Amino acid sequence: RRNKIRNSKRSHSTGNVEMCNGCGFPILEENMVSAQGARYHTTCFRCTRCDTQLTLKNYRKQSMEGQLYCEAHAPQSRDSSPSPETDQKNCDLFEMLERLQGTRIDDQRCHIGSFYKTPIAAINEDQKRNIQTIVQSDGPYPMIVLPVNGGYWMESSDGFITSEEDNVHESITSLHPSASELCIDTDFTAQCYRGDFYGKEHLNYYAIDEYLGPIVMSIKAEPSSVESIKAIVR
């Protein structure tokens, strides 16, 4: 009820005396400020929030509420474009959210190691130098690089084994118990594969042995009256 009485005092004038739209008291002409059809005392012409003295150049008026604001506290309208400071704050906020989101995704990742444990083979320095010498020379290059002093060499998971080493038979036996029964000079695995499997329909299976490393098993069905299967492991 008091607000209605106060508003009614603001909306009309008594004789030649204007009423202040801020305090509701009469205003003299020498102490009056007019802004958008409303009259104020010079002392009442202040910002609603910070109580700063306003002028006709820096005041802002909210048309719906009829309140006065300075430029710093003027409420933003829907149609007004955001200030550069507001745009910068919004950009900083989105960058922070993207950074936090990326960190959360990185924390959820885990390292998946290799399924098979591949042993790291030791490098024989003599064999390495021999290969480098051959590669640096003019071609054609040999398909198989033999030791310089003759004999043979074999690459396994334990490194290079040559016929010049004293413990060659012990090294071969350590790879597999049945390997001691094999003679490298008379091993016809490659000849058997070329004669019975190469160029013919067969299946190849690959596996990894803990001691021997990669293994290939070839299987071929024999076209005969008696059902038989040929297999070779190498």
**Residue 199 maps to which CATH number?**
3.30.1120.160
- Residue whose C-alpha is closest to residue 210's, from 154, 139, 156: 156
- Please name every residue paired with 209 in a beta bridge, in sequence order, or none if there are none: 213
98: tokens are 């993207």
What DSSP assignment string belongs to 34-72?
Answer: EETTEEEETTT-B-TTT-PBP-TTT-EE-TTT--EE-TT
- pLDDT value for 34: 74
Give long-range contacts, CB 8 A cutoff, 24+ apart: 203-211: 208/116, 208/118, 210/117, 211/157, 211/175, 211/176
Would you say residue 201 lies in a domain? yes
Q: By the 8 A CB rule, do 141 and 177 touch?
A: no
pLDDT, residue 128, reads 79
How long a stretch of residues is the chain?
234
In a domain, 83, yes or no: no
In a domain, 157, yes or no: no
pLDDT score of 112: 64
The residue out of 20, 48, 69 marking a domain boundary is: 69
Inside any domain, residue 38: yes
CA distance linking residue 197 with residue 208, whole number of Å? 22
Domain boundary at 69, 94, 111, which? 69
pLDDT (0 to 100) of residue 13: 43
- Backbone phi and psi for residue 195, each to the nearest 5 degrees, phi listed first: -75, -35
**Structure token digits, residue 119:** 């042993």
Total count of domains within the chain:
2
Residue 196 lies in a domain: yes
Q: What is the pLDDT of residue 77?
A: 59
Contact (Cβ atoms closer than 8 angstroms) between residue 55 and residue 46: no
pLDDT of residue 1: 47
**pLDDT for the residue numbered 60:** 64
DSSP characters over 131-178: HHHHHHS-SPPPSS---TTSS-EEEETTEEEETTSTTHHHHHHHH-GG
Is residue 10 included in any domain, yes or no? yes
Tell me if residue 107 falls in helix, strand or coil.
helix
pLDDT at position 167 is 46
Residue type, position 53, single letter: Q
Q: How far apart are CA 28 and CA 209, in angstroms?
A: 106
Residue 127 lies in a domain: no
Per-residue pLDDT tens, the chain, 234 aa: give them: 445 444 544 444 445 677 877 777 787 777 777 776 777 777 777 777 777 777 766 666 654 556 777 766 666 655 555 566 666 777 888 888 887 777 666 666 666 666 556 555 555 677 778 888 888 888 788 877 777 776 666 665 555 555 554 444 444 444 454 455 555 555 678 788 888 888 889 999 999 888 888 899 999 988 776 778 889 988
pLDDT (0 to 100) of residue 109: 66
Domain hosting 224: range is 184-234
CATH value at residue 54: 2.10.110.10
Pick the last residue of a domain from 69, 89, 117.
Answer: 69
DSSP assignment letter at 10: H
Q: 8, 66, 4: which is closest to 35 by C-alpha?
A: 66
